[in-house]
């Protein structure tokens, strides 16, 4: 695996292999000494042009647990604020000997551009680009879903996929890179996906995506769902009015206390509630739902370190994955 830019690039076998290796990496986190010497002497650069807390810290923890050296780069306070281009920044990283670059950028396609050029000869990991993709978030979500699905069915996780699992992705689909990456990956792993949102928050062309589209969250939940993935309303990307007001959005498409109680009343005892974070409590999800036993929010954060350890290990160990479709 040379780069990780999109979940569309992963075959079923590739995805399962990453998740299986992540299982082994997760075990490292339970040890007294949470370290492996696998990447000793390697340098991983976190190149973040957008604000981030969870993703940057998660990648940093993953690299350090593999004994790699980590350089954190933030566009704020750097030469980027003086007008330095992505090309010049990449060539600077090449000159200091970066062995892998984890990049988050506000422009869709920036990681692919970096990977396709000769600006830097190092593996590139997409940590989120514009409204395009966020592949490691989708992988950690799939890891969380697979663990839950195995518990429900009383099976082992290793080597398994998500065949038969029903997942609803709810909210701001239009601006969400998480939704897109999850859709491609979950379909590859055999899950049935339903996108739930107001029509104004669904992207043009979503009608041909390999998923069901719903405008009614209550009807979707009543139909039986194994996991509900709530998305953050990304106000910073909205330059128009996509819904009348926050109260109406919360009432129609937020996971509130009433919908949490409805799951219990409908006997859906195994349905889990997910959120990639950060959460807007009281808007797309209530505090009761976010803090309930059904919530996997903190489990997702923990699983993110293991999944990113697996990705960095595969990229920097020279272990090759089969290209998708072969």
Report residue 113 CA to chain centroid gap: 20
So what's the pLDDT on residue 237? 65
Annotated binding site for carbamoyl phosphate: 54-55, 104, 134, 137, 277-278
So what's the pLDDT on residue 324? 37
Over residues 303-310, the mean pLDDT reads: 98
So what's the pLDDT on residue 243? 83
Q: What is the DSSP string of 173-219?
A: -TT-HHHHHHHHHHHHTT-EEEEE--GGGS-TTGGGSSSEEES-HHH
In this predicted structure, the answer to whether residue 196 has a pLDDT above a threshold of 80 is: yes
Cis peptide before 223 (omega within 30 of 0): no
So what's the pLDDT on residue 246? 87
d(CA 300, CA 284): 18
Confidence of residue 304 (pLDDT cuts 50, 70, 90): very high
d(CA 205, CA 93): 38
Fold (topology level) of 135-299: Rossmann fold (3.40.50)
For 214-273, the pLDDT digits (tens) are 999 999 999 999 999 999 998 666 666 788 788 999 999 999 999 999 999 999 999 999
Percent of the chain's residues with pLDDT above 90: 85
Helix segments in 80-203, DSSP class H = 86-95, 110-116, 135-153, 177-188
In this predicted structure, the answer to whether residue 80 has a pLDDT above a threshold of 80 is: no
Given this chain, do its domains 7-134+301-321 and 135-299 carry the same CATH topology? Answer: yes
In this prediction the pTM is 0.94
Lowest-pLDDT choice from 13-17, 148-152, 314-318: 314-318
So what's the pLDDT on residue 321? 46
So what's the pLDDT on residue 84? 80
In this predicted structure, the answer to whether residue 76 has a pLDDT above a threshold of 90 is: no
For 129-159, the pLDDT digits (tens) are 999 999 999 999 999 999 999 999 999 999 9
So what's the pLDDT on residue 322? 40
Over residues 53-79, the mean pLDDT reads: 89
- What mean pLDDT, rounded, does the chain reach? 92
So what's the pLDDT on residue 325? 34
Over residues 68-94, the mean pLDDT reads: 82
So what's the pLDDT on residue 79? 63
- Domain 7-134+301-321 belongs in CATH node 3.30.300.280: no
In this predicted structure, the answer to whether residue 81 has a pLDDT above a threshold of 80 is: no
Handedness of CA 144, 146, 149, 151 (dihedral sign): negative
d(CA 266, CA 59): 39
So what's the pLDDT on residue 224? 96
Over residues 39-44, the mean pLDDT reads: 97
Annotated binding site: 54-55, 82, 104, 134, 137, 177, 232, 277-278
So what's the pLDDT on residue 239? 67
User: In the chain, what are the domain boundaries?
Assistant: 7-134+301-321, 135-299
- Sequence-distant (≥ 6) Cβ neighbours of residue 275 within 8 angstroms: 229, 230, 231, 232, 284, 285, 290, 295, 297, 300
Confidence of residue 36 (pLDDT cuts 50, 70, 90): very high
Q: How many other CB atoms are found less than 10 A from the CB of residue 142? A: 29
Annotated binding site for L-aspartate: 82, 177, 232
So what's the pLDDT on residue 234? 80
Strand pairing report for 227-230 and 100-105? unpaired
State which H helix or E strand residue 56 sits in.
Answer: helix 54-65
So what's the pLDDT on residue 323? 36
So what's the pLDDT on residue 110? 95
First to last CA, the chain: 14
In this predicted structure, the answer to whether residue 326 has a pLDDT above a threshold of 80 is: no
């Amino acid at each position: 695996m040379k780069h990780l830019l999109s979940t569309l690039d992963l075959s079923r076998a590739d995805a399962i292999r990453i998740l299986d290796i992540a299982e082994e990496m997760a075990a490292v986190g339970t040890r007294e000494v949470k370290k492996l010497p696998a990447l000793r002497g390697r340098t991983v650069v976190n190149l973040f042009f957008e604000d981030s807390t969870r993703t940057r810290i998660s990648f940093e923890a993953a690299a350090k647990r593999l004994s790699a050296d980590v350089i954190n780069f933030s566009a704020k306070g750097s030469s980027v604020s003086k007008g330095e281009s992505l090309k010049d920044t990449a060539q600077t990283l090449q000159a200091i000997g970066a062995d892998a670059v984890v990049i988050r950028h506000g422009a869709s396609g920036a990681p692919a551009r970096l990977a396709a050029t000769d600006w830097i000869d190092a593996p590139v990991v997409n940590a989120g680009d514009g409204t395009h993709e966020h592949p490691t978030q989708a992988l950690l979500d799939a890891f969380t879903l697979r663990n839950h699905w195995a518990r429900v069915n009383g099976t082992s996780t290793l080597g398994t996929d998500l065949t038969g699992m029903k997942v609803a992705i709810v909210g701001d689909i239009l601006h969400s890179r998480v939704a897109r990456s999850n859709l491609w990956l979950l379909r590859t792993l055999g899950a049935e996906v339903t996108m739930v949102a107001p029509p104004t928050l669904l992207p043009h062309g979503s009608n041909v995506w390999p998923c069901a589209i719903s405008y009614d969250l209550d009807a979707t939940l009543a139909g039986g769902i194994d996991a509900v993935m709530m998305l953050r309303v990304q106000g910073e990307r909205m330059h128009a009015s996509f819904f009348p007001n926050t109260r109406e959005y919360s009432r129609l498409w937020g996971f509130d206390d009433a919908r949490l109680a409805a799951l219990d009343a409908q006997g859906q005892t195994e349905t889990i509630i997910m959120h990639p974070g950060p959460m807007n409590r009281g808007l797309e999800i209530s505090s009761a739902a976010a803090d309930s036993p059904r919530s996997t929010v903190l489990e997702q954060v923990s699983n993110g370190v293991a999944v990113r350890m697996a990705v960095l290990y595969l990229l920097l160990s020279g272990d090759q994955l089969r290209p998708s479709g072969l």
